[in-house]
C-alpha cells in the first residue's frame, strides 16, 4: 500500500479540509472528531478537545491525503506538520518496521489496539520524520 501524507493543524483542520475540498472539487468528506472517547492514555478527552478533528481524508488526483488536529498541549509548527502514514495489512510487518524506525528514534505512541485499528503507533525516526503505522486490511478509495 502507498505511503500517505498526513497533515496536522493547530485547531483549524476543519477549515483546511473545506479549503482543500473546494480547491480540488471534492465533496466535504466525513470528519471524525475526538469526541467523548478515550485518548491514548485511556482517559477521556477534555471538553475543549472533543470537537477537534481526529481524522478525515480526501482523495486528490488518486492520492489519499489525511488530516487531523494536534492536541492543544502539543501544537505543531506549521511547515513541519506533515507525517507519513504507512497502512499495512500485516501486523507483524508493522511491528518490525516500527521497531526498526524507533532504533535511534523516538517512540511517540507505542503500537496499540485502537477503536479503528488492531495495531497503530507513531514513531519519529533519527532524521526527525514522523511515521504513523496503521493496520489496514484494504486500501481506502475515498
Q: What is the pLDDT along the chain (142 residues), one digit of tens a residue?
A: 688 999 999 999 999 999 899 888 899 999 999 987 777 778 888 888 999 999 999 998 788 999 999 988 889 988 788 999 988 899 999 999 999 999 989 999 999 999 899 999 999 888 788 999 999 876 544 4
C-alpha to C-alpha distance for 122 and 131, rounded to whole angstroms: 6
User: pTM of the prediction?
Assistant: 0.71
C-alpha to C-alpha distance for 63 and 3, rounded to whole angstroms: 9
5 CB-near residues (< 8 Å, 6+ apart): 63, 65, 66, 82, 83, 84, 85
- Which 8-state DSSP code applies to residue 4? E
Identify the CATH homologous superfamily for domain 3-135: 2,3-Dihydroxybiphenyl 1,2-Dioxygenase, domain 1 (3.10.180.10)
C-alpha to C-alpha distance for 5 and 19, rounded to whole angstroms: 17
Residue 141: predicted pLDDT = 46
Amino acid at each position: 500500500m502507498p505511503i500517505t501524507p498526513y497533515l496536522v493543524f493547530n485547531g483549524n483542520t476543519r477549515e483546511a479540509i473545506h479549503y482543500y475540498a473546494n480547491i480540488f472539487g471534492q465533496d466535504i468528506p466525513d470528519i471524525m472528531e475526538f469526541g467523548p472517547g478515550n485518548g491514548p492514555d485511556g482517559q477521556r478527552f477534555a471538553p475543549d478537545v472533543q470537537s477537534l478533528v481526529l481524522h478525515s481524508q480526501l482523495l486528490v488526483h488518486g492520492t489519499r491525503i489525511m488530516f487531523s488536529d494536534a492536541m492543544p498541549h502539543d501544537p505543531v509548527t506549521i511547515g513541519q506538520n506533515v507525517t507519513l502514514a504507512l497502512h499495512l495489512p500485516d501486523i507483524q510487518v508493522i511491528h518490525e518496521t516500527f521497531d526498526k524506525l524507533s532504533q535511534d528514534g523516538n517512540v511517540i505512541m507505542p503500537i496499540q489496539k485502537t477503536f479503528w485499528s488492531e495495531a497503530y503507533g507513531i514513531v519519529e525516526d533519527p532524521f526527525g520524520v514522523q511515521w504513523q503505522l496503521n493496520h489496514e486490511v484494504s486500501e481506502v478509495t475515498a
